Structure 1
Amino acid sequence: MAEAETSAGDLRSWVPDRPGIDHNVVVVGGGQNGCAFAFALSRSGIGKVSIIDAAPDADHAGVWLTRARMRRLRTPKAVSGPELGVRELSFQSWYEATRGAAAYDVFDRISRTDWADYLSWYRTTLGLPVRYGTRLVRIEPDGAFFRLHLVEGDRPVVETARKIILANGVAGSGGPSIPPVLSTLPRSHLAHTADAIDFDRLAGKSVAVVGAAASAFDAAAVALESGAANVHLFVRRDHISSLPVYRNRFYPGAFEHYSNLPDAVRWRQALLGRDAGSTPPAESIDRVTRHRNFHLHLSAPWSSAIVRNDRVEAGVNGETFAFDFVIAGTGYFTDLSARPELADIVQHIRLWRDQYVPPEGAAYEEGGAHPYLGLAHEFLEKTPGTAPYLRNIHAYNPGAYVSFGLPTGDIWTMRRDVPIITKRIGLDLFLDDVAHHDARMLAPLSPEFGIERYASAIWRGRQPILGEGNAEPADVQPRAETGSAVPAVAKSRSRS
């Protein structure tokens, strides 16, 4: 059983073993976030941590070499990420060591492939053995721990764990969103941006992209760069969203304490994000508009889509278009009941619609489907006392958006949320074994030294000198073992 762990007998691991428990923590997801959690837990002295990922290998884990298609990261290069304050593990240190400081100075945003190379180095340097090809299919509560039903390759396995971190990416609280009008199209003619798309197969083809977020523009760009005959991008709104509403939440006060805001304030902020829409980077727009065979359709929702003569015929505002292939850049939905691993527990998880009733005119159905999370991203009970084990599952994925105000799982949120979750896990594990730790702290100790180490320096006071007049200074003689001077005991002397 490969694990990123320290054994219970190792001084770095303070968590005592429990009979029948395989793991203290299982991290679901071996991308940048899962590896950052494994590093943070190790630094906190928590052993028996296992990282699992359904991807077959490191190149397919996470997004950077699969469904991420931007040329450069959205975040500035100086934003703290998985290094969690350890400068030697930062992207800058790695890049300067491999390319030189001058090379680092000339760009402002990190290339996607450089980031993937850095994460590979990070994982290897820290010795984090991700268990690839391991899929979580069911979380079964069993008293004070969980029975995790896994599939390793084709082999079913059951393992036990005390804590779970869901660092399972953009679909971790639901799945890819495909509009009803597209849902009947065969997969031979349709892909979501979450899919592995063979763009080379689109060379010479007519391609439609539905959506206006960054992933839609990036997919359109790759199709154009792969030789598509033409690409049409369809947007429901009458403009491309350009207000980055998240930016106002990045000052330290809001960034650090957002989850402590009243529910009404967080709900209003979530509505603001919904109404503003997702803002693609300017360079993603420039990347497609430089192609003469790119065409943008505004106020253009699809009303119909069928396959006829091996092409997709789309009805849009009374017009009919025909395409060889359609890409849905339509984001992801939040619905915990869509996650098979949560089937045993989903009915007990508190959602925002269970917690907060919005005022008239402020309804937000999808926002209400988000889990209402505790301050350490833990699931909470819908009905107190019915499922206390939920506090041992921490959701670090976009399902945390309404509770925490940012697209959780991005590089931005690592430095805030990874330490918070790690600290809570450590606290819970510590208090769960309070008797053990009390006994450990009361255990007999061996003295580090005896009285002989300082006996020669003990002050014994000056003895009085009998006779008339002032007392004379005591004789001084050196300490044999140090050569320093100590008072000698004064002797009585008779009058001459």
Structure 2
Amino acid sequence: MSDLATYPDDLDALEARLQQDLSWLELPAKAWVPAREAGGQPVVDVVIIGGGMAGLVASGMLKRLGVANHIVLDKAPAGKEGPWVTFARMRTLRSPKQLTGPAMGLPALTFRAYYEARFGRDAWLALDRAPRETWMEYLIWYRKVLELPVRNDVSVDTIRPRDDGMLDLMCVQDGRSEKIVARHVVLATGRDGLGGPYVPKFAKSIDRRYWAHTADEIDFSALRGKWVGVIGAGASAMDNAASALEAGAARLDMFVRRSELPRINKFTGIGSQGVVHGFAGLPDEWKWRFLNYAMGQQTPPPRPSVLRVSSFEQAYLHLESPINGLQQDGDQVIVITPRRSYPVDFLIFGTGFKIDLSNRPELAAFEPHIRLWRDRFPTPSGMANGELEGSPDLGDAFEFLEKEQGSCPTLSRIHCFNFPATLSHGKLTGDIPAISEGADRLARGIVRSLFVEDREKHFANLQAFDTPELLGDEWADDEIEAPSELSSEGT
């Protein structure tokens, strides 16, 4: 983790302001969930898998609402959670700097407050967008000041239903196995949380040494002097192309199916609190209609990312160039397009991610029971969309639902707080703009479930509560004879 002690002293003042705000708001709320044991082992009320931005704000919301007995598990070392300093290769975030993101409505917890405390207001005014490394440092600070219960270097290999309705998580840390019993599990596992990176089938015919996905670790220094190909022209494809060029690639070719790059980010045009809070209330056919249209238009790569690539004279963009096939030729890969073939030394797939539950072994016990949209919603005519059809059909608190009622009741204790939740809830689970609103919806749903399930205990506590507010000395019981005129009134 970064050494936060090296940051300027103004962060101390900001942290004091934040603590004052929390105190005035009486946050976090007092812990209220009754403790449980299972086989002599303490039960954790909520386990959040993933300590990136989504996992941190989910933790912050649960703590805020008094669910103190929860933990966050992340397989990465501290300070390496999420994509920001691993496979994200853009110079700056794509979102505008002023978005409040995971701040949960607290001004002192915003990125702006953090940035101004470190670098001053003039630096904020001069800033275009947040550098991704600085954003990661902000998330590290966020975790620190909220004292969130994150455990690093922990992988969750298996989640299993229990006979008592709870969940067993089989975890590994430093080669040691551990079982955690949980009442709820939140999957804050990012863009590939229900699948993984997507590459076309023809990639499998090529030696793995000669290609990578944009989500992979790539040694760009090894590409110096090489001929590099990139399939796709989305944001990640552009950022990886730029990284290869900046590392000294001799030539770079980008292959794009479309006749031109998309230029308009359609969803940005209707961004509002109406979309944030209203999307989940749309009829199913309208949810599908909105997302199918937006996906068909595609999101353009950020202009700075495109300029970052086009500034190199050895970079070439090939439009209307879908990949017809790949061939291995010694130490090169031959990229075959309708126009011509290109020999490259290394190929990068900027082909995104795919929902595929078979790629998530930790969910193997639940995968047959998870209801997808295709299981209950007929695809509208002319709107076939594999990604939408394979999206999970989620409940009000992002919980999985069963294909067959009663087949796996424990399934509702697993909450899908990652990108594939978009069709059910809108863009609340991965992007910066509405992540706090998503976490609020998630946490409130879990709180409701915990309270309802523990109703007998809470009722017993209600009955047992015996702290008096009146002590008995506030008023004397004086017996005073009523005046005769009052006692005889009406006779």
Q: What TM-score do you get using the length of structure 1 for normalisation?
A: 0.87
Q: Distance in 1 between matches of 2:111 and 2:441?
A: 22
Work out the CA distance in 2 between the residues paired with 1:402 and 1:351. 11
Aligned partners of 2:71 and 2:261: how far apart in 1?
Answer: 42
- AA aligned to 1:183 is K
Kept in 1, the 8 Å contact 2:396–2:445? The answer is no
* Per-residue deviation, residues 434-469 of structure 1 (Å, max 9, x unmatched): 0111121222323345454577xx9x9xx99xxxxx
Pick closer, same or farther for the CA change 1:64–1:284 going to 2, 3 Å: same
Which shows bigger deviation, 308-317 or 419-428?
Answer: 308-317
Please show how residues 377-396 of structure 1 align to structure 2 within 5 Å. Answer: 377-396=398-417
Q: In the alignment, what sits opposite 1:97? A: 117
1:18 match: 36
> Would you say 1:430 and 2:451 are equivalent positions?
yes
Aligned counterparts of 2:394 and 2:29: Cα–Cα separation in 1: 33
Q: Give the letter for the 2:376 counterpart.
A: Q
The CA deviation string for residues 52-106 of structure 1, in whole angstroms up to 9 with x for no partner, is 1111x12322111011111111111221222211222221221121111222122
Amino acid in structure 1 at the alignment position of 2:36: R
**Counterparts of 1:138 and 1:434 in 2: how far apart (Å)?**
30
Q: Does 1:61 align with 2:90?
A: no
Quote the Cα distance in structure 1 between the aligned partners of 2:300 and 2:427. 14
Structure 2 residue 303 is matched with structure 1 residue 282: yes
Q: Is the 8 A contact 2:158 2:363 kept in 1?
A: yes
The residue correspondences of 1:40-439 to structure 2 (distance < 5 A) are 40-55=61-76, 57-143=77-163, 144-406=165-427, 408-439=429-460
Between the aligned partners of 2:34 and 2:369, the Cα distance in structure 1 is: 30
For residues 130 and 337 of structure 2, the distance between their equivalents in structure 1, rounded to whole angstroms, comes to 38
Q: 2:15 matched to which residue of 1?
A: none
Verify the 8 A CA contact 2:167 2:181 in the aligned structure 1: yes
- Contact 1:181 / 1:303 at 8 angstroms: preserved in 2? no
| Whole-angstrom CA distance in 2 between matches of 1:266 and 1:343 | 28
The alpha-carbon distance between structure 1 residues 149 and 132, as it changes in their structure 2 partners (threshold 3 A), is same
Q: Distance in 1 between matches of 2:263 and 2:203?
A: 26
- What letter is aligned with 1:17? A
Is the CA contact 1:25–1:164 (under 8 Å) kept in the aligned structure 2? yes
Instruction: Say if 1:444 and 1:268 are closer, same or farther in 2 by CA, change over 3 A.
Output: closer
Question: Which moves more between the two structures, 240-249 or 416-425?
Answer: 240-249
State the AA in 2 paired with 1:65. V
What letter corresponds to residue 188 of structure 1 in structure 2?
A: R
Q: CA deviation at 1:189?
A: 0.7
- The 3-state SS of whatever aligns with 1:208 is strand
Give the Cα separation in 2 of the matches to 1:358 and 1:249.
Answer: 24
Contact 1:172 1:399 in 2 (8 A): yes
Counterpart amino acid of 2:329? Answer: R
Q: Cα distance, 1:233 vs. partner?
A: 0.7
Number of the residue aligned with 1:5? none
Q: Is the 2:57–2:436 Cα contact (8 Å) retained in structure 1? A: no
- Indicate conservation of the 8 Å contact 1:376/1:417, yes or no: no
In 1, the alpha carbon distance for the partners of 2:465 and 2:214 equals: 61
Matched residue of 1:109: which SS? Answer: coil
Alpha-carbon contact 1:82-1:415 (below 8 Å) kept: yes
Say whether the 8 Å CA contact 1:245–1:276 is kept in structure 2.
yes
Distance in 2 (alpha carbons) for counterparts of 1:373 and 1:249: 24
Report percent identity of matched pairs: 38
Q: CA deviation at 1:224?
A: 0.9
Could you tell me whether the CA contact under 8 Å between 1:58 and 1:132 is conserved in 2? yes
Q: Retained in 2: the 8 A contact 1:249–1:255? A: no
Q: In structure 2, the residue corresponding to 1:438 is in which secondary structure?
A: helix
Whichever residue aligns with residue 350 of structure 2, its letter is G
Q: In structure 2, what is the Cα distance between the partners aligned to 1:380 and 1:249? A: 30
2:21 aligns with none
Contact 1:181 1:302 in 2 (8 A): no
Aligned partners of 1:189 and 1:315: how far apart in 2?
Answer: 16
* 1: CA distance, partners of 2:475 / 2:243: 77
2:458 paired with 1:440: no
TM-score (norm 2): 0.87
AA at the equivalent of 1:298? L
1:329-362 per-residue CA deviation (whole Å, 9 max, x = no partner) reads: 1100012232111111111111010121123322
CA distance in 2, matches of 1:205, 1:424: 52
Unaligned segments of structure 2, at least 5 residues? 1-27, 485-491
In 1, Cα distance between equivalents of 2:431 and 2:364: 26
Displacement of 1:407: 7.2
Over residues 90-134 of structure 1, what are the superposed CA-to-partner deviations in whole Å (9 max), with x where a residue is unaligned?
212211211112221222421111101111111122222422221
For 1:106 and 1:387, locate their aligned partners in 2 and report how far apart those are by CA, in whole Å. Answer: 54
Cα–Cα, structure 1 residues 114 and 271, in superposed 2: closer, same or farther, change >3 Å? Answer: same
Other structure's SS at 2:71 match: strand
Query: Is the contact made by 1:335 and 1:370 (CA closer than 8 Å) also made in structure 2?
Result: no
Aligned residue number for residue 18 of structure 2: none
Q: Where does structure 1 differ by over 4 angstroms across 4 or more consecutive aligned residues?
A: 451-455
Could you tell which deviates more after superposition, 427-436 or 251-260? 251-260
One-letter code aligned to 1:14: W
Aligned residues: 452
Distance 1:449 1:174 in 2: 60
d(CA) in 2 for partners of 1:187 and 1:408? 32
Deviations 1:279-320 (A, max 9, x none): 211111111111111100001112221222211111122522
Letter in 1 for 2:95: T
